Amino acid sequence: MKKVERINIIMRYINNRAHFTISEIMREFNISRSTAIRDIREIEAMGMPLVAEVGRVGGYFVMNNSVLPAVRFTDNEIKALFIAFMATRNKQLPYLKSRQSLAEKLLGLISQNQQDDLVLLNQILLFEGTNPHNPDLLDLSDLPHPMLEKLIQILLSDRYLLISVKEEKDIMSYPIYLLHLYHEKGVWLIEGFVLQDEKRRIFPVDNLTDVKPYPAKKRVSRKKIVEKLSKQEEEMNLVLELGPQAIAQFKKYHPLKASLSYTNPYQTTAILKTFINVANSKEVTEITNWLLFLGEDIKVREVPKEVLEGLQERLRLFCP
């Protein structure tokens, strides 16, 4: 680790602690006592207000109510930040306008040479959704559904929600306890426990027309929700053994409800368990296609007959 980079990391380490000693710095960064002392002196010279304590358990602490030096980024840290921005461009992410202003501020902090490196990386690196003919580092124009940020803001304080969802020609309302909010195949989805019928269900965020906290007096306790979910998980009707090739396919794509448990320390074999709602023909078709996607490196322990019939039908089409 270069000296400049080490000192920057030590500064952040110090700033997150009320008290530290030279011995702690030596152990944390694997440096000698003389090097640790020299680094601390350089940090003091840069303006960080450190106060030394003498005595048997002496050390240092940062003086309260003092202005700390500005955060400094290394070249690699700058590249890591902007590559993350590039990779997530056009992903309909929340707080997109804030990310754009953040990128503008970061560009204002770095040198022209660093900016030139980022422009070159932007031309070379292509991610899904990247427009290779647009060299603008700050192009983040794919705004998410307007309900997404409102939903996240409510979730920060409350996961019991009353959501209104557009379904065909009607607007339906559901009281839910939100389990996950996730992004899959370019779509934001809510996985929630519906309090009325006590079932797990998926809702596309694009179909939301309103969201607000659910009244406290009508809520089911989180403990009861966990108990209900655990009982439903016991009803899993698809159980597979996966080999290394199937595990690789699983990592490329899998339904959120699927649970993968490795059965050896090298993570080359695993057990997959999930529940298939056989009353939902769309879900049966999706799982049938997904099992074919996993390939031949699987052993079936348990499968619903509806899915098995779907697989047999698909195989007959390939092998008449």
What per-residue confidence (pLDDT) applies to 132?
Answer: 64
pLDDT at residue 256 is higher than 80: no
| pLDDT winner (highest mean) among 56-70, 94-108, 286-300 | 286-300
What per-residue confidence (pLDDT) applies to 319?
Answer: 66
pLDDT-derived band at 195, boundaries 50, 70, 90: very high
Exposed e or buried b for every residue in 96-121, given b needs 16+ CB within 10 A? beebeeebeebeeeeeeebeebbeee
Q: Dihedrals φ, ψ of 296, to 5°?
A: -85, -10
Residue 52 maps to which CATH number?
1.10.10.10
Mean pLDDT of 91-116: 80
pLDDT digits (tens, 9 = 90+) for 213-252: 999 888 989 899 988 887 776 577 889 999 999 999 988 8
Task: Give the total number of structural domains in the chain.
Answer: 4
Of the three residues 175, 206, 232, the one that is the final residue of a domain is 232
CB 195 within 8 A of CB 219: yes
Does 223 lie in the same domain as 243? no
Q: Which domain holds residue 108?
A: 75-124
Of the three residues 232, 247, 271, the one that is the final residue of a domain is 232
- Contacts of residues 189-194 at CB distance under 8 Å and 24 or more positions apart, as own/partner, are 189/256, 190/151, 190/163, 191/256, 191/257, 192/161, 192/163, 193/225, 193/228, 193/229
Q: Is residue 249, in this structure, part of any structural domain at all?
A: yes
Q: Is residue 132, in this structure, part of any structural domain at all?
A: no
User: For the whole model, what pTM was predicted?
Assistant: 0.57
Does 120 lie in the same domain as 158? no
Does 85 lie in the same domain as 40? no
